Amino acid sequence: MKIGYIRTSTDDQSGAGQRDALRAAGCERIFHDKGVSGGAVSKPQLEHALQAASEGDALVVTRLDRLARSMKFLIEDVERIGGLGIDFVSLHEAIDTTTPGGRLFFHISAAFAEFKRDVIRQRMKEGRAAAKRAGRHDDHGRCADRRRPAPGDLSAAGG
């Protein structure tokens, strides 16, 4: 049996597009977490979906980011799902762990995403170190050279 899972970040989102895609993919039951962030650890409807699934069933999502926002949590969730004997399918990315190729593709994709995140983190660390050596302070991502003009100071605003 295919079981669909929908996650919407706000209560205002209906999830209708996800629901239509999951029905078209043959999902017999669909569970919907409304107003739940992708970074949230607690996803009650995901837990209900996994409880409703039996070994050999598949949990289907429309996109990977509907299951989890971070690659770390995505990998953990998919491994937990697999540990229950449940397969995982993401329609948009064409990932289907019911096949050996699908499992391989998922892990390769996850490895590349993890690598990309680590490279970005390393570049940010190097940039902060270079800024510190140059005497600029780290103001958490805001441009250190940008100056806010005082009210009425047109010269700082280019005027």
Q: Is the pLDDT of residue 139 over 70?
A: no
Could you give the CA distance from residue 2 to residue 86 in angstroms, rounded to a whole number?
Answer: 10
Range of lowest pLDDT (34-38, 43-47, 122-126) = 34-38
Q: What is the pLDDT of residue 150?
A: 57
Alpha-helical regions (H) of 42-99: 44-52, 71-83
The string of pLDDT tens digits covering residues 117-136 is 788 889 999 999 998 898 88
Say which CATH architecture domain 2-112 belongs to: 3-Layer(aba) Sandwich (3.40)
The string of pLDDT tens digits covering residues 56-114 is 999 999 998 898 877 788 888 888 999 999 999 999 988 999 888 888 888 887 777 77
pTM, 2 dp = 0.67
Residue type, 120: I
Element (H, E) at 100: helix 100-133
> Hey, what long-range contacts does 15-22 have (CB within 8 A, 24 or more apart)?
17/62, 18/62, 18/66, 21/62, 21/91, 22/60, 22/62, 22/91
Q: Which of 9, 37, 42, 54 is catalytic?
A: 9
**pLDDT bracket for residue 53 (50, 70, 90):** very high
Mark whether 37 is an active-site residue: no
Positive or negative, the CA dihedral 84, 34, 64, 107 is: negative
Domain boundary assignment for the chain? 2-112
Q: What is the pLDDT of residue 69?
A: 78
Q: Is 63 helix (H, G, I), strand (E, B) or coil?
A: coil
List the structure tokens of 52.
């409703």
When comparing pLDDT for 55 and 71, which is higher? 55
Q: Is the pLDDT of residue 37 over 80?
A: no
Mean pLDDT score of the chain:
84
Q: What is the pLDDT of residue 62?
A: 95
DSSP states of 104-132: HHHHHHHHHHHHHHHHHHHHHHHHHHHHH
Positive or negative, the CA dihedral 82, 1, 69, 122 is: positive
